[in-house]
Chain A
Amino acid sequence: MTRVPRDCDVLVIGGGNAALCAAISARRSGAAVTLLEGAPRALRGGNARHSRNFRVMHPGPTPWTRGSYPAEDYRSDLDAVTDAATGAAADGTLARMLIADSAGIIDWMGRNGVRFQSGADDCLPHSRKTAFFLGGGKALVNALYTTAEGLGVAIHYDSEACALHLKDGLPSVTVGHPKGLQVVRARAVVVASGGFQANRGWLRDEWGEAADGFVIRGTPHATGTMLKALLAEGAQPVGAAGHCHMVAVDGRSPGFDAGIVTRLDGIPHGIVVNRDGRRFADEGSHTGPTRFSVWGDRVARCPGGVAFSIFDAASEARFRPSIFPAIRADGIGELAGKLGIDPAALEATVGSFNAALGSGGIGADGFAMGTEPPKTRLAAPLLVPPFGAYPVRAGVTSTCLGIRVDGKARVLRDGGQPICGVFAAGVIMAPNILGRGYLAGSAMSIGAVFGRIAGREAAAHALH
């Protein structure tokens, strides 16, 4: 790789959506910009490479969005997820900025090479709230990198920010890359390096041994090094260190970067048991898009961080298979053996579940009578061999700990005063708005809106 220059106006730490928006916007504001991406070129783009859509406010139909999504609806959707999770409202000012500025995301992205898919395309999930980019996140990331390179942003791959120095004068960063360490000084720094979900030690501090069972769905470079450094410098934390956005994934997923494809679709159709062979939650409680995250959370709290989705040949036809082959057997006991579960325990669980359905019957909506815990929807006995199973683990999208920023994306200290020359954008400041909550397409919108603000403000600060 080329050597990282010693000095620049704006140093962007991170290589995902927020970092790219910050770099492009700082460069367009006239600053000399250097961007540090921890990943190699082929795997660049942070978690944005696995993303798919922006949540955008729009007053009426556009070529890329259906219907309308007024600011009030956006706000109430935000409040619903943040309130439900924390009881604490999101930062009202930042939320209003997000909503207002989200209306310009599609246009800005379009001018920077990103293409969107027609909102009327019936291949897309029906959504009036989000716009889908053509080809998904990696296509978006490719386009933004091409634009940034064309504008003259100095992009450095395999370059991890290891330490942040704010003590004397200009901020500087120690950069680790395959050729060694180097210190880069800048007039302003934009930190857009995401959460800390790829830091197993930190996860273990928060979750105990259960963290060892977690699968990380995104980049292995989200180690939280800069997040920790900023907290050590006195930045004010927001969100919750002990919370993650999680979904239920096939337990055989690779440890990092498997993105969307290892999500398990069919959990509500069968039963779910822990490693002791016991049911522990209502499989029918969530059958819509929330089922993924609900089960992520539940499985994260299971002993060993693992559970098993069990189904029979009849129910298997009703959902999309995993990309990994189902573990199959002609009998429940045999299946338990293959899963490493006590066969007698699993046989007892399935036997009593089937018996309850047989005697109590199945009510409206597939409500199973007399099972404990209940199964409130899609209840059906497991009778038709071969029986199948998928191991289930919690797949972490990102952590929910961030740092406080103001409307100029400046990082704030505990007392509320900004840290001079340090800005933040993307998932590292998303908890200001989302708390512990999650709303499809909102993290990408936060990255786009506050990335642009951070880039612009950092350039203004640097060129002041």
Chain B
Amino acid sequence: MPCTEDHPEDIAADIMAEARRALEICNACQYCNGYCAVFRTLKARRQVGTADLLFLANLCHNCRSCYHACQYAPPHAFGVNLPKSLSLVRQRSYRDHAWPPLLRRRLRYTGRAVVIATLLAVEVLTLAAILAVPAGTLLGRHSGPGAFYRVVPWEVMAGVAGIVMLWSLLAIALSVAAFWRGMGPAPAGVSLPAALRDTVLDVLTLRNLGGGGAGCYGREGGREGGLSQTRRRFHHALFYSVALCFASTAVATLYDHLFGWQAPYPVLSLPVLLGSLGGGGIMAGTAGLALLKRRADPVPVAASVTGGDRAFLLVLFLAAASGLALLALRGTAAMGPLLLTHLGIVLGVFATLPYGKFLHAPFRVAALLRAAMERNAGSRTRPPA
């Protein structure tokens, strides 16, 4: 029989079996337990079930330090490649917990859908504007408060964005809820505030992407032999820049609703400063991460997941770049087309959040919380030293 057909179920079983095999070797070794929470969490388990696999795969931050340090990595007979094995399980976990459930067998994480959806959002928005707004207004110069809303009325902008955001938030929440159940029953008798505090610290510091201080493994060579904190720094740049962009939007919303000050705001206003800083940071972060991805040693990377990673970085980069272009050219006739492009890309990003690489963030937070809860429960039952 020709092997050209994909058999998703067989592949899923293979992926799970291979990850389980690798983790069982890891658990017998445990040399990597200084790198991240995966190995400590694994250690408490005598055997690795499907729920454990989902949990550990999403706890993994893919720093690849363990691969670099692995005495059993290829070409060793055991051929352990934990980062690759876990990233394949992780991708299955996004797919198997997607919402609505209708999508669960159908989603592919090649990244193509994310890019197409984003382009489509730009197209639809532009087409609607061409039909509804006179060409003179669309390509005219506008200035002063409310300039943007002459091209896209505020009600339309807020309405469409609101609906898309609500849908995405709902889909993400339900996916995460399904994933939380998929990790098996949560430990009982846990101090939730303490576990939450640990989780927030883990998220804000990306402690688990630090390779126990050694950093991520990129590729052989260099002064540190391929290990560095660069990837973590670029991820921080991206994460905190997205936060700045949200802060910018929040401030702008206050300006509008509380004080009646309508966008666009002056260059030295808080929303523009926050947004510009955030936009620049997103561009730097996404470009840096994409570059590192391009240069990385391909062996510990699952080729089938990188498409989705790249697509997400690309649309984020475009959202930031179009936003900054809009800021630079808002006084010119290009404002209308740029506004439509920027809004379209942002809508595309929001619409695809539940169905692409973004899902790694809430799933990882859930896994970190679960790990913190286990640690908390463990320290409560352990006798004092």
Contacts and interface: CB of A to CB of B under 8 A. Distances in A.
Interface of A: 40, 42-43, 49-50, 52, 113, 115, 117-118, 121, 123-124, 132, 134-139, 142-143, 145-146, 150, 254, 257-263, 317, 320-323
22 contacts: A43-B76, A113-B225, A115-B213, A115-B214, A117-B34, A123-B43, A132-B34, A134-B34, A135-B31, A135-B68, A135-B69, A138-B68, A139-B65, A150-B223, A254-B78, A257-B76, A258-B77, A259-B72, A261-B25, A261-B78, A321-B24, A321-B47
A323 B24 CA distance: 6
Contacts of B225: 113, 142-143, 145-146
Contacts of B70: 138
Given A150-B223, A263-B28, A320-B46, 14 more contacts: A40-B75, A43-B75, A113-B225, A134-B212, A135-B31, A135-B35, A135-B214, A137-B31, A138-B68, A139-B214, A258-B77, A258-B78, A261-B78, A323-B24
Interface string B200-234: 00000000000011100000000111000000000
B368 interface: no
A123 B40 contact: yes
Interface string B67-89: 01111111111100000000000
Contacts of A132: 34
B33 interface: yes
A142 B223 contact: no
B69 A139 contact: yes
A42 B70 CA distance: 11
A280 to B, nearest CB: 26
A207 to B, nearest CB: 24
Contact of A123 (B39, B75, B213): B39
Contacts of B224: 113, 146
Contacts, number: 99
A55 to B, nearest CB: 17
B35 A134 contact: yes
A261 B28 contact: yes
A52 B68 CA distance: 15
Contacts of A118: 34
Given A115-B213, A123-B39, A261-B28, A136 B47 contact: no
A123 B28 contact: no
A136 B28 contact: no
Contacts of A257: 71, 76-77
A135 B77 contact: no
Contacts of A134: 34-35, 212-214
B14 to A, nearest CB: 17
Contact of A261 (B32, B43, B72, B214): B72
A50 B28 CA distance: 13
A263 B29 CA distance: 10
Contacts of B29: 136, 259-261
Contacts of A146: 223-225
A135 B66 contact: yes
A263 B225 CA distance: 31
Contacts of B30: 123
Contacts of A138: 68-71
A132 to B, nearest CB: 8
A49 B40 CA distance: 21
A139 B215 CA distance: 12
B186 to A, nearest CB: 22
Nearest to B77: A254
A309 to B, nearest CB: 15
Contact of A135 (B47, B65, B74): B65
Nearest to B32: A135
A150 B225 CA distance: 10
B19 to A, nearest CB: 14
A136 B75 contact: no
Most buried by A among B24, B40, B47, B223: B24
A117 B27 CA distance: 18
Interchain residue pairs A-B with the least CB separation, the first 4? A136-B31, A135-B69, A146-B225, A139-B69
Given A117-B212, A146-B224, A323-B24, A135 B34 contact: yes
